[in-house]
Structure 1
Amino acid sequence: MISINWKPNKNSSIPLYKQIVDYIKEKIATGEWSISSKLPAQRELAERFEVNRSTVVEALDELKAEGLIEGKSGGGTIIVNNTWSLLASTPPPNWQSYISSGIHKPNLSIIQAINKFEYKENMIRLGTGELSPELFPKEMMKVVLDSVGDKIESLGYEEPKGSLYLRQIISQYLKKYEINASPDSILIVSGSLQALQLISLGILHPGSAVLSEKPSYIKSLHVFQSAGMRVKGIPMDDQGIRISEIMNNLNKATTLLYTIPTFHNPTGIVMPQHKRNELLEVCEKARLPIIEDDAYRDLWLDTEPPLPLKAKDKNGSVLYMGTISKSLAAGIRIGWLIGPEPVIERLGDIKMQTDYGSSSLSQWALAEWISSGLYEKYLEELREKLRVRRQVALNALEKYFSDIATWNKPSGGFYIWLKLKKQISMEKLFYLCCDNGILINPGNVYDFSENLNLRISYSYSSLYDLENGLKKLSQIIRLLN
């Protein structure tokens, strides 16, 4: 996707359209914008450049006249030449063809837009699955880093499975959840996403099928699809994935089940213990391995959730993923994967081939957070703050959405799964919200079909923005037919 972080100088004697022409020509000439790249729509260009649409049209017309761009029927405006290709008999490489033939699939266009708009100033982020900067434990982090600084003698590469010291601490920490995992069965990864990537590369085969809840966070990624696998959605009820539907969708191509049984993303559902037991029993009989994503476990707000599936796993059929990204800080980029030692050895070897190990400093920091007891103290404070945020969001929904939507009250995690009562275009709603300074996460990015849901997060925006953003969102929804 073409990125634009420039605006014409309105105080310059050079006409605005000419400045835009020169800017685009420079990007094309230097190869930053390659042949076959698609320019943003005229409306979006006008917004980026902060000029009238007529100014953009004038600039594009001149670039077309020079043979640099071309309008494609139904395909927008494409870069077809650069200044060198117009002068030389041998055309330059068509990088776009390389991009389109790459193995890893691009994100959905709306997800790309979300990733871009999250860093736009003054945008109210109502769907962001991350802790607010207001919740960052600055003083505690200073204590941790000061302590770590006195202990570190080197920041060299760690062993393939990660820091033994950190793995020992995680092994001990997880006993509170009745997970008995030796340090040898733990792999330190750079977040849960890397764990999924390693699994897709290391132990699955192209053409296989991965079962998952419908909707699911995994649908917003292409981690399995890019490795040549299919993700098949299994419907949910108010207690999680429908186990009978798992059996109906098993075939020779089915490789494993990916599930988020605790504070599910995006619905917030918690699978009860009896259903967890049933799920384990069914998957063990079918010899279907499970990936358990437990990213939100520490973020319970009412009562502690049931034990992880891994706690009841007697046959090594569950690969268990944990992370610090949701509960402490996304930028630390440390998570862990627990499984049978041969699997962990295999994935550790692949990790060494991809990044040669996660950040040593982050591993030291996490080890200090947990071993010092500060992490548990911090979680108690964080839960109280998240309870306040959840209530602000629920109050705003009751005030502004009671006649146009239904929703759940989550018992933990970050998300409220909102369902609109009237049929509207969710894509139109998304871009209209963006135009009005509100960023939402439409439910279709987590589903395997269109829906009328929104994932509302109470974890990121300030309390004022949360209330004001939901008010504005309800007003925009009411304007749409």
Structure 2
Amino acid sequence: MNQENSASYPKYKQIIDFMKEKIARGEWPIGSKIPSQRKLASMFDVNRSTVITALEELTADGLIEGKMGKGTIVINNTWTLLATTPPDWNVHVKSGMHRPSQAMVQDINESESNSNLIQLSKGELSPDIFPKDKMKYAMEKVAKNMEVLGYEEPKGYFPLRKELSAYMKTIKIESSPDSILIVSGALQALQLISIGLLQKNSSVLLEKPSYLYSLHVFQSAGMKLKGLSMDEEGIKVTAIKRADPQEGQAILYTNPCFHNPTGTLMSQKRRYDLLKECEEHQLPIIEDDLYRELWLNKQPPSPLKALDKNGHVLYVSSLSKTLSPGLRIGWIVGPEPVIERLADIKMQTDYGSSSLSQRVAAEWFENGLYQLHMETVRTELRTRRKVMLNALETYAEDIATWTNPEGGFFIWVHIQPSISMKSLYSRALKRGILLNSGSIYAQETGSYLRLSYAYASLPDIDRSIKILAELIRELQV
């Protein structure tokens, strides 16, 4: 038996060997930052003192060094340092055009894979809601009729676009298959729009707060985000005039149905007024409608795209929130010249979304499985929303206020005592709860949380809200 596999082999030695291998193989080149003590402790299921012992030995060997404000850095590689100087990949990493995520967003993304945490952060349906049997049926039917899986035409698998065209009519959007582009999720739709339709230094007007602030899709393409104030009906139309850029292109991004993160549902009147204002300003609109089918009280107003008679709106949606993020199937609806432009860029990027996923998605729509599934999803989410709202009333009525969303995944919570949100985040994580602070969505004033009732189990929802209330009261003192 190898030492590494022996139960008696010290854990700190296992950590040292692991890190030495990473350095020797060039996976952690000179100048790179090693994982945090917390992450290493979690990886090896040890306390931090064990990690510190390992780091001290590696430091004594001259392989790593703690640098003020930078963490612990690899400074030497005695195995692969030859006569030539190796490239400083750290310089290249920092020079890339695409900006890195916020540090907290990166931390959340990593922690969301930890099944031991109660996930109040996830914008995803619980595995308990996943329609395993129906998905197996759809996949088996696709497999039974399987042909060669080659590249699809630029706009995507035609039968899927045909089914989506029919589905769009149920929400009052008239769109032929030629005006639909299949993409690998809504995020790719935004990326294609950012590089295909907008110039550098363009302005993207959007709600503030907004999920888009937690990404760097538009900023990485050299664009500026300009936040617009909201009320209980959505974006304030008067804010568009004040934010109208004097120079360069501009586009408006909006998430009118069960807005992420606030859960706001834009009223029918506000939709009419918003479209009219944007038409007057010749301001094109990206309508992000991912949460539309997740209505829990009554069906939401018609999409902006349904009111659009002049090709003013690009409509974006996907199956990631309603069916499965793993399928990576989304779509853009817009004027044909725009769709053709974006399809050309997509072909240059990935030569089309998964042929298999597109066929499976088409099967869901063709046989009516999708709408039946959505009825089940709504029933489940109503129960989950009720449990979280009841827990908030029971444990946090005196320390917080919150929205009562008509659909979607999220409750937007305003913590009334002035507390450190970083401290709340870290303390909650130690208690096994993963949170999303409002700051990652550019909520710059007050203490806010975006709580998801879609993923965690019902007992975990109740228990975690009770713990959060306790932590808030501790921080208040």
Q: TM-score, normalised by structure 1?
A: 0.95
Deviates more, 1:149-158 or 1:304-313: 149-158
Residue matched to 1:269: 264
Matched, 1:391 2:391: no
Q: Which residue of 1 aligns with 2:201?
A: 207
1:11 aligns with 2:7: yes
- Give ranges in structure 1 of 5+ residues lacking alignment: 1-6
* 3-state secondary structure, aligned to 1:83: coil
Q: CA deviation at 1:156?
A: 1.4
Gaps in structure 2 of 5+ consecutive residues:
none
Partner of 1:207, secondary structure, is coil
CA distance in 2, matches of 1:9, 1:471: 41
How far residue 340 of structure 1 moved from its aligned partner, in angstroms, is 0.9
Residues 353-396 of structure 1: per-residue CA shift (max 9 Å, x gap): 11111111111111111111121111112211111111111111
Pick from 178, 183, 187 the counterpart of residue 184 of structure 1: 178
Q: Which of the residues 292, 297, 304 maps onto 1:302? A: 297
**Cα distance in 2 for residues equivalent to 1:119 and 1:260:** 26
Find out whether 1:444 has 2:439 as its counterpart. yes
Q: 2:313 and 2:304 mapped to 1: Cα distance?
A: 7
**1:393-426 per-position Cα deviation (integer Å, ceiling 9, x unaligned):** 1111111111111001111111111110011111
Query: Does the alignment pair 1:249 with 2:243?
Result: yes
- The DSSP-based 3-state class of the residue aligned with 1:456 is strand
Query: Which string of whole-angstrom CA distances, capped at 9 and with x for unpartnered residues, describes residues 256-276 of structure 1?
Result: 000001111111111111110
Corresponding position of 2:343? 348
Counterpart of 1:218 in structure 2 is 212
Give 2:458's aligned residue.
Answer: 463
Identity %: 56
1:338 to 333, 339, 347: 333
Q: Does residue 105 of structure 2 align to residue 111 of structure 1?
A: yes
Q: Is the 8 A contact 1:233 1:448 kept in 2?
A: no
Tell me which amino acid in the other structure corresponds to 2:392. L
* Structure 1 contact 8–20 (Cα < 8 Å) conserved: no
Given that residues 132 and 460 in structure 1 are in contact (C-alpha distance below 8 angstroms), is that contact kept between their aligned partners in structure 2?
yes
**Which residue of 340, 358, 362 maps to 1:363?**
358
Q: What's the secondary structure of 1:321's corresponding residue?
A: strand
Say whether residues 1:37 and 2:45 are aligned partners. no
RMSD: 1.8
The amino acid across from 1:296 in the alignment is Y
Single out whichever of 126-135 and 37-46 deviates more from structure 2.
37-46
Q: How far is the alpha carbon of 1:187 from its aligned partner? A: 0.2
Q: Partners of 1:304 and 1:364 in 2: how far apart?
A: 28
For 2:54 and 2:130, locate their aligned partners in 1 and report how far apart those are by CA, in whole Å. 45
* C-alpha contact 1:148 1:365 (8 A) present in aligned 2: yes
Task: Give the Cα–Cα distance (whole angstroms) in 2 for the partners of residues 326 and 184 of structure 1.
Answer: 25
CA contact (8 A) 1:131 1:327 kept: yes
Corresponding residue number in structure 2 for 1:61: 56
Which residue pairs with 1:285 in the alignment?
280
1:229-244 to 2 correspondence within 5 Å?
229-244=223-238
Work out the number of aligned pairs and report it.
473
| Pairwise CA distance, 1:254 | 4.6
Q: Distance in 2 between matches of 1:84 and 1:150?
A: 53
The 8 Å contact of residues 299 and 412 in structure 1, kept in 2 or not, is answered as yes
Question: CA 1:365/1:17 → structure 2, altered by over 3 Å: closer, same or farther?
Answer: closer
Deviation at 1:44?
Answer: 4.6
Contact 2:149 2:355 in 1 (8 A): yes
2:89 aligned partner: 95
Look up the match of 1:4: none
How far is the alpha carbon of 1:40 from its aligned partner? 3.5
User: Could you say if the C-alpha distance between residues 370 and 416 of structure 1 is closer, same or farther in structure 2, counting changes exceeding 3 Å?
Assistant: same
Query: 2:115 corresponds to which residue?
Result: 121
Provide, for residues 148-196 of structure 1, a one-character-per-residue CA deviation record: whole Å limited to 9, x for no partner: 2333323211100001111111111111111111111100001100000
Give the equivalent residue in structure 2 for 1:415.
410
Residue 152, structure 1, aligned to residue 146, structure 2: yes
Deviation (angstroms), 1:278: 0.5
Deviation at 1:89, TM superposition (A): 4.0
- The 1:448/1:477 distance shift into structure 2, 3 A limit, reads closer
Say if 1:450 and 1:222 are closer, same or farther in 2 by CA, change over 3 A.
farther
The aligned counterpart of 1:138 is: 132
Measure how far apart 1:430 and its partner are: 1.2
Q: Is the 8 A contact 1:180 1:311 kept in 2?
A: yes
- TM-fit CA distance, 1:55: 3.3
CA displacement 1:192-224 (0-9 Å, x = unmatched):
000000001111111111011001111111100
The alignment partner of 1:326 has SS state of: coil
CA–CA distance in structure 2, aligned partners of residues 461 and 433 of structure 1: 15
The letter of the residue matching 1:148 is V
SS at match of 1:480: helix
1:173 aligns with: 167
Q: Measured at CA, do residues 153 and 59 of structure 1 come closer, stay the same or move farther in structure 2, by a change above 3 Å?
A: closer
User: Secondary structure at the residue paired with 2:32?
Assistant: coil
- 1:8: Cα distance to partner? 7.5
1:212/1:233 contact within 8 Å kept: yes
With over 3 angstroms needed to count, the CA separation of the structure-2 counterparts of 1:60 and 1:242, relative to structure 1, is: same
Matched, 1:379 2:371: no
Measured at CA, do residues 10 and 245 of structure 1 come closer, stay the same or move farther in structure 2, by a change above 3 Å? Answer: farther
Output the CA distance in 2 between the equivalents of 1:42 and 1:122.
Answer: 19
Deviation at 1:245, TM superposition (A): 1.0
Counterparts in 2 of 1:411 and 1:83: CA distance versus 1, 3 Å: same
Determine the C-alpha separation between the residues in 1 that align with 2:13 and 2:371: 59
CA distance in 2, matches of 1:198, 1:330: 19
Distance 1:384 1:353, change over 3 A: same
1:301–1:383 Cα contact (<8 Å) kept = yes
Determine helix, strand or coil for the equivalent of 2:229. Answer: strand
CA distance in 1, matches of 2:6, 2:475: 35
* 1:250 shift after superposition: 0.6
The verdict on how the C-alpha distance between 1:47 and 1:385 changes in structure 2, with shifts beyond 3 A counting, is closer
Q: How far apart, in 1, do the equivalents of 2:72 and 2:412 lie?
A: 37
Which piece of structure 1 moves more, 113-122 or 144-153? Answer: 144-153
Q: Residue type matched to 1:202 in 2?
A: G
Distance in 2 separating the partners of 1:223 and 1:432: 31
Aligned to 1:163: 157
